[in-house]
Amino acid sequence: MADSAAAAAAAAAQPATVGQAVIPLVNRLQDIMARLDGDAAAGVELPQVAAIGGQSSGKSSVLEALVGRDFLPRGPEICTRRPLVLQLVRHSAPEEWGEFLHAPGRRFDDFEHIKREIQSETDKEAGGNKGVSDKQIRLKIFSPNVIDITLVDLPGITRVPVGDQPSDIESRIRTMIMQYIKHPSCIILAVSPANADLANSDALQLARLGDPDGSRTIGVITKLDIMDRGTDARNFLLGNVIPLKLGYVGIVNRSQEDINFNRSIKDALAFEEKFFSTLPAYHGLSQCCGVPQLAKKLNMILLKHITDMLPGLKSRINAQLVAVAKEHAAYGDTAESTAGQGVKLLNILGKYCEAFSSMVEGKNKVSTDQLSGGARIHYIFQSIFVKSLEEIDPCKNISDEDIRTSIQNSDGPKGAMFLPEVPFEILVRKQIGRLLDPSLQCAKFIYDELVKISHGCLTSELQKYPILKRRMGESVSNFLRDGLRPAETMITHIIEMEMDYINTSHSSFVGGSKVVELAKHEGLSSRGPTSLSVHKDGVGISSEAQLKSSTENNVQIKSERGQKSRAVFARDTSRGATAEKGFQPDTDAGTSVAGGGQNGHSLVSGSLSSMSDPRGYSLNSLYSMIRLREPPSTLKPSENKTDRDRTEIAIVKLLVKSYYDIVRKSIEDAVPKAIMHFLVNHTKRELHNVLIRKLYRESLLDDMLRETDEVLIRRQRIQETLQVLEQAHRTLEEFPLEAEKLERGYSISEYGTGLPKIPGLSNRNPRGSSLNLYS
């Protein structure tokens, strides 16, 4: 590496043209960016030249000709099995050597050793049996005989798998090639042999996919010396067959025989010059024939390409530098004093609580994908809790038999003349009690949402401190759980208060004549001769007309036994009842019901023959002993419902529904308020103090602020990336801005190729014209 630095210093000491200054800077950028991993370097595509072509198309010969040395593995089968990034560095010293990125500090003076190192690294990654890998080998060659340029030698396209190659080897190689040539920063060197049909060239087909308009593709036609007799490549070179904006260059490769006999690159260049000068078909095409012209063209095109890409390249590197610097700042400094750790912990706790309150209040970053934070709490209150209570039918689980049973049970032993209040209160309390479970569920739902919000606060910063994250999670969960208990207690008290006092004087309660009106409209009172009225308090419900009739009947009461009152609520106290299913009345052949028979006479029992009536009648001749049925263990109302029963049932249901709606609305308002006061707002107010009280202890600072190994590695990686990008940014600032010279273009005579000078051959354009690539 010291040699490369000395070479770079020697080159810098000489006056340089724009091309001599720009391309080495790009090479330096290549070295700098090569230190980044794949993810960090993905956003920065540097200008480069990628050589593509089919297997044995002559790619390796082209690269060796540009270098002037034989250093690549050669053979009849696939040779390039890993992408080779080749940087050519021109310097003034006479020495030539190579350096590999994977072997820093090691200098390869023997190019045969370079060839063996490439082969060894290829086998290490891709195996020794023709396998292919997409992992790069980076080689830098220092020589006075090269141009400053970066080339990428990609594996040749093959169709038939050999050795350890997978069955889809062609698809894999094509995909690998596309990963390079699809970027606008890449110049495509499409190598095609002259002894094959150009229309079927694999290289040109892939180039068209990566560069549809042909603005980045240079065509290279190899093996011109082995074309069939009588044929030439003139039309190919002129672009008459497949036109390319950057044109074609034809070269003559060294044959396998030349390689076997160690024919030098210098001799090969002399043979190539003689070949083009002696064939009339190539006269007038000197600007697109030969390796020196290819080197010049590549250099000029790459220089122009770099100039065009420079503004966008600077923007991308600057943007990535800002992003990485921001991420590096988020990781902070590792070495801190105890006081510094305390300040950091307080900052974390403060930011956490602020983020928690912002998420609850909806002041954080608003998501457009889904509801979050406080919006979910509002949804639970209105769309789940309130809507669920409104869907409850308070009379759904109350049967008519339940109502009749409660009414009769409330009559006591003598029976009531009016509909009592007890059945209504019993049934409505039962329905109010049903509201407790959904109210407590609502509180639990809000608790779960607050836990989710706490988990989503400051996740990136707490990720570095797993112990602190765990302790904070435990503290917040315990605090929320402590806030849930008083909320649940308050909700329970709210329900109990509603159950303890049935306020029938409420202005919205439907009682008195209103409930009778509703009963009439529903057709529940089908045979009632008069209108029904209900006391405002909902306790005594009566019929005014029938109450008046009942009063008159009480004045003129008849003595006849068994006569029934016709008033609905001046109630008949002889309500029927039936035994529970399965009970059979006790009967006996010697026993009958009093008044039995159609004439109402009773059978006479012999056991009473001696008894006599005080008036002189013999009881023995008039009565028999009457035996009563024993009451069953379970009694229920009779199955036959009278019109009065139906009316009473309907009125009780209407009263229950009316009062339930009043309580439901009160619960819908009071429960969310209790949850917000005791749980949500209490958490927002006190969370910061609780976390400080629980966690801010000097003895716990080192433990809680200890970072994981992954975080330490990530910080180191981010720091290295930041250093690389800063170095790349400084390198970009060194680029010359000689815009006037770029606009005029370059004279080929101004900047030689650097290839070895051959006696009798000129490296100048025969016509002495300028190759202006910018017009």
pLDDT band per the 50, 70, 90 thresholds, residue 412: low
Residues in the chain: 775
pLDDT number for residue 597 = 40
pLDDT number for residue 58 = 82
pLDDT number for residue 400 = 66
The C-alpha atoms of residue 184 and residue 305 are separated, in whole angstroms, by: 10
The chain-wide mean pLDDT, for the chain, equals 74
Q: Per-residue pLDDT for 219 more than 80?
A: yes
pLDDT number for residue 751 = 41
Q: Per-residue pLDDT for 226 more than 70?
A: yes
Measured between alpha carbons, how far is residue 380 from residues 135, 367, 377, 501, 609 in Å? 54, 18, 5, 29, 82
pLDDT number for residue 670 = 94
The half-sphere exposure of 344 on its side-chain side, counting CA atoms within 13 A, is 23
The C-alpha atoms of residue 753 and residue 757 are separated, in whole angstroms, by: 10
Q: Per-residue pLDDT for 561 more than 70?
A: no
Measured between alpha carbons, how far is residue 255 from residues 57, 58, 342, 624, 673 in Å? 12, 10, 74, 143, 91
pLDDT number for residue 618 = 52
The C-alpha atoms of residue 23 and residue 342 are separated, in whole angstroms, by: 51
Span 342-353, average pLDDT? 85
Residue with tokens 């007038």: 284
pLDDT number for residue 680 = 92
Span 447-467, average pLDDT? 82
Q: Per-residue pLDDT for 586 more than 50?
A: no
pLDDT number for residue 633 = 79
pLDDT digits (tens, 9 = 90+) for 594-622: 334 444 333 333 443 444 455 554 545 55
pLDDT number for residue 191 = 92
pLDDT number for residue 530 = 39
The DSSP result for 561-614, as a single string, is TT-----SSS--S---EEEPTT------TT---TT-STT---PPPGGGTT-B-T
pLDDT number for residue 552 = 42
pLDDT number for residue 638 = 64
Query: Which has the minimum average pLDDT: 124-128, 135-139, 204-208?
Result: 124-128
Which carries the bigger pLDDT value, residue 484 or residue 337? 484
Q: Per-residue pLDDT for 430 more than 80?
A: yes
Give every CB contact of residue 181 below 8 A, 6+ residues apart in sequence: 50, 52, 188, 206, 207, 210, 211
- Counting beta carbons within 10 angstroms of the beta carbon of residue 52, is it exposed (0 to 12), middle (13 to 18) or buried (19 or more)? buried
pLDDT number for residue 72 = 83
- Identify which of 472, 417, 519, 497 has the alpha carbon closest to the alpha carbon of residue 671: 497
The C-alpha atoms of residue 47 and residue 499 are separated, in whole angstroms, by: 81
The C-alpha atoms of residue 171 and residue 163 are separated, in whole angstroms, by: 17
Hey, what long-range contacts does 478-481 have (CB within 8 A, 24 or more apart)? 479/683, 479/686, 479/687, 479/690, 480/447, 480/450, 480/451, 480/454, 480/679, 480/683, 481/447
Q: In this prediction, what percent of the chain has a pLDDT beyond 90?
A: 15
**pTM for this prediction:** 0.53
Q: Per-residue pLDDT for 288 more than 70?
A: yes
The C-alpha atoms of residue 456 and residue 579 are separated, in whole angstroms, by: 64
Which carries the bigger pLDDT value, residue 389 or residue 160? 389
pLDDT number for residue 564 = 33
Q: Per-residue pLDDT for 540 more than 60?
A: no
Q: Per-residue pLDDT for 131 more than 90?
A: no
Q: Per-residue pLDDT for 503 more than 90?
A: no
Residue with tokens 């059979």: 584
Q: Per-residue pLDDT for 706 more than 90?
A: no
Per DSSP bridges, beta strands 137-143 and 97-100 are: antiparallel
If you average pLDDT over each of 207-211, 366-370, 521-525, 653-657, which comes out highest? 207-211
Give every CB contact of residue 590 below 8 A, 6+ residues apart in sequence: 603, 605
pLDDT band per the 50, 70, 90 thresholds, residue 715: confident
pLDDT number for residue 66 = 84
Q: Per-residue pLDDT for 113 more than 80?
A: yes
pLDDT band per the 50, 70, 90 thresholds, residue 17: very low
pLDDT number for residue 714 = 79
pLDDT number for residue 117 = 92
pLDDT number for residue 463 = 74
Give every CB contact of residue 24 below 8 A, 6+ residues apart in sequence: 8, 11, 89, 90, 148
pLDDT number for residue 327 = 80
pLDDT digits (tens, 9 = 90+) for 175-201: 999 988 998 889 999 999 988 888 888
Q: Per-residue pLDDT for 248 more than 90?
A: yes
pLDDT digits (tens, 9 = 90+) for 649-700: 777 788 888 888 899 899 999 999 999 999 999 998 999 898 888 888 877 7
- Single-letter code of the amino acid located at 254: R
pLDDT digits (tens, 9 = 90+) for 627-638: 888 877 776 766
Query: Which has the minimum average pLDDT: 112-116, 231-235, 754-758?
Result: 754-758
The C-alpha atoms of residue 94 and residue 74 are separated, in whole angstroms, by: 27
Q: Per-residue pLDDT for 4 more than 60?
A: no
Torsion region of 705: left, alpha or beta (phi above 0 gives left; psi -120 to 50 gives alpha):
alpha
Q: Which two tokens stand for residue 209?
A: 């996919």
Q: Which two tokens stand for residue 497?
A: 């208060």
Which carries the bigger pLDDT value, residue 443 or residue 372? 443
pLDDT number for residue 709 = 74
